[in-house]
Amino acid sequence: MARTMGYLDPEYFQSSQFTDKSEVASFGVVLVELLTGQQPISIRRSEQDRSLATYFMQSMDENYLFDIVDARVMKEGKREAIVAFAELAKRCLNLNGKKRPTMKEVAALLEDIRNSEKASGAHEPDVEEVEYVREVPDQPWDLFSTSTCPADFGDPTGSSSVELPLFSNVVSE
């Protein structure tokens, strides 16, 4: 994934080398995708904010985090957990690779966020409770639209067509 447009480590453009911290930066983009429900590259954002990572970092710096968080995440997650998740994503996306956490640290921090959700009484979904939905493409070219293409032509909403569990994304029956 580190070599896919939208997930590239900014340091790669200077060094032409990938490191373990490049993977952390790529994972940071995945965290932001989960948090915002947006594609890593979008023609719907301004040219300077076309990259989700850049858009996210600017939103964090300007204290607009909750303006870009996906509505489902806002509804299902606790504010403190959302902020902690966003802060972790921001650390992963640090332009200086040496200042990024290791993947081991990322895993531990995600576990801490999960445990704090449990401790606060948030419902933890069982695997059976989570529903994964995949839309069937209307047009043949939709089969090829993925988050790795330079623009998200296949999805007019700009959000993912697959719902992933985040925080307590539970479907009740």
Averages of pLDDT over runs of 10 residues in the chain (173 residues) are 58 61 87 92 73 91 95 94 96 91 96 87 49 47 38 44 45 40
CA atoms within 13 A on the CB side of 53: 21
Residue whose tokens read 């493409």: 137
Domains in the chain, ordered, with CATH? 12-144 (1.10.510.10)
The span from the first CA to the last CA of the chain, in angstroms, equals 36
Check residue 120 and give its pLDDT: 74
Confidence (pTM): 0.64
pLDDT attached to residue 122: 55
Task: Provide φ and ψ at 13, rounded to 5°.
Answer: -65, -20
Helix (H), strand (E), coil (C) string for 67-133: HHCCHHHHHHCCHHHHHHHHHHHHHHCCCCHHHCCCHHHHHHHHHHHHHHHHHCCCCCCCHHHCCCC
pLDDT of residue 138: 45
